[in-house]
Amino acid sequence: MKNWEKNMRQVVPYVPGEQPDEPDMIKLNTNENPYPPAPEVQEALKNLRADSLRLYPDCTAGALVHALAQYHGLSDDQVFVGVGSDEVLALSFLTFFNSKKPILFPDVTYSFYKVWAELFQVPYECPALNEDFEIEPGDYKKENGGVIFPNPNAPTGVVLPLEQIEEIIRSNPDVVVIVDEAYVDFGAVSALPLLDKYDNLLIVRTFSKSRAMAGMRIGYAMGNPKLLQYLSDVKYSFNSYTMDQTALVLGVEALKNEAYFQETLQKINDTREWTKEQLAALGFIFKDSKTNFVFAAHPDYSGEELFKALRAAHIYVRRFAGERVKEYLRITIGTREEMECLVRFLRKYTGSSK
């Protein structure tokens, strides 16, 4: 070991889903949207001029913040934007989780939480989901330095009812509670109405899934203005210009066409319900998902075996390590045609005559 290596911050990084590029692939591994972004986004892209890149972008991201505030019926000082919700979440860990007491998040959840906790040296504990992969609000009533969970949870897809979310927030008035609503548009109830009641609540969202803009990297947080002021101070101490000019323009455009948004959500949700029926008929087990993915296992085949067989057929799904989840595949909902292809393959593989 070199001497300089003794001063390294050593981390075990988050491992993103792979981004293969094969012409015949069916990519169901990173919860991307199978439909294009709103047509307004394409139109605005055509009109972008290189000359506009000469200047720094608006460091307050004012136009996008305002558009989001309008969209959600909030004031501008209740919205904070960042480079994907991953950046918003990372800055939130840095800003809000500075207690010596452990922060709490579920044992089965978005695996990045643990990585940020390690990176920023935040102590953490992971209460176990119950047998049905549900969050038990009672587990979040012990002393802690903060709470974070997604609703619906990932990678399980399971929804926590709003009353139980409120129970967790109400029990934790002295710390910040973050609800990561990356998938909420696909059919869960948002914690947004609770913002007026609780100044310790932060809701985080992304354009990556429901708005089909994973490649543009836009995420945002909604919360009490005082809470967001702390977040903003940390952002300006790290990188004033997080959002690039193109993201600022296209983000605003993406919010303009509600009909298109609802139409694509409906298509994905319909395909999800169809996929659930098909998977159930093939003997897969899964919890009810209100997201754009299904987290499923088959009693007769290991997760590893199914993952490899699918991969060999150029059908990419996601699988996670960990005792409780290793037999499961997280299957993103693609187009109906893509899901038919997946089901055809699985039907053949499991030798079902159905």
Angle between helices 112-119 and 84-96 (to 10 degrees): 40
Scan residues 22-81 and list those touching ligand PLP (CB under 6 A).
Answer: 31
Cβ-Cβ contacts under 8 Å for 86 (sequence gap 6 or more): 112, 219
Whichever of 81 and 346 has its CB closer to ligand PLP, that residue is 81
Q: Does 154 bind ligand PLP (CB under 6 A)?
A: yes
Paired residues of 178 in beta bridges: 148, 202
Q: Does 133 bind ligand PLP (CB under 6 A)?
A: no
Scan residues 195-234 and list those touching ligand PLP (CB under 6 A).
Answer: 206, 208, 214, 219
Q: Does 85 bind ligand PLP (CB under 6 A)?
A: yes
Q: Does 178 bind ligand PLP (CB under 6 A)?
A: no
Cβ-Cβ contacts under 8 Å for 127 (sequence gap 6 or more): 104, 106, 107, 135, 136, 139, 140
CB 185 within 8 A of CB 267: no
Whichever of 38 and 182 has its CB closer to ligand PLP, that residue is 182
Scan residues 95-124 and list those touching ligand PLP (CB under 6 A).
Answer: 110
- Nearest CA among 170, 169, 162 for reference residue 190: 162
Q: Does 144 bind ligand PLP (CB under 6 A)?
A: no
Judged by CB under 6 A, which of 106, 146, 150, 251 binds ligand PLP? 150
Judged by CB under 6 A, which of 86, 185, 253, 327 binds ligand PLP? 86
CB 319 within 8 A of CB 326: yes
Q: How far is the CB of 14 from ligand PLP (least distance, A)?
A: 10
Whichever of 92 and 206 has its CB closer to ligand PLP, that residue is 206
Q: How far is the CB of 42 from ligand PLP (least distance, A)?
A: 20
Q: Does 242 bind ligand PLP (CB under 6 A)?
A: no
Whichever of 28 and 346 has its CB closer to ligand PLP, that residue is 28
Q: Does 185 bind ligand PLP (CB under 6 A)?
A: no
Q: Does 253 bind ligand PLP (CB under 6 A)?
A: no
Nearest residue to ligand PLP, by Cβ distance, number only: 84
Q: How far is the CB of 93 from ligand PLP (least distance, A)?
A: 12
How many CB atoms within 10 Å of residue 165?
A: 23
Cα–Cα distance measured from residue 172 to residue 225, given in angstroms and rounded to the nearest whole number: 19
Q: How far is the CB of 179 from ligand PLP (least distance, A)?
A: 10
| Tokens 């978005």 belong to residue | 110
Q: Is 324 helix (H, G, I), strand (E, B) or coil?
A: coil
Judged by CB under 6 A, which of 64, 127, 176, 180 binds ligand PLP? 180
Cα–Cα distance measured from residue 100 to residue 106, given in angstroms and rounded to the nearest whole number: 19
Q: How many residues bind ligand PLP (CB under 6 A)?
A: 13
Q: Does 156 bind ligand PLP (CB under 6 A)?
A: no
Q: How far is the CB of 180 from ligand PLP (least distance, A)?
A: 5
Whichever of 187 and 346 has its CB closer to ligand PLP, that residue is 187
Q: How far is the CB of 112 from ligand PLP (least distance, A)?
A: 7
| Tokens 């992971």 belong to residue | 126
Cβ-Cβ contacts under 8 Å for 17 (sequence gap 6 or more): 29, 30, 316, 318
- Name the token pair of 53: 């890149």
Q: How far is the CB of 33 from ligand PLP (least distance, A)?
A: 11
Which segments of the chain are extended strands (E)?
A: 26-27, 79-82, 103-104, 124-125, 147-150, 177-180, 201-206, 219-223, 285-286, 293-297, 315-316, 329-332
Count Cβ atoms within 10 A of the Cβ of residue 82 and give its class: 0-12 exposed, 13-18 middle, 19 or more buried. buried
Which residues of the chain form contacts with ligand PLP (CB under 6 A)? 31, 84-86, 110, 150, 154, 180, 182, 206, 208, 214, 219
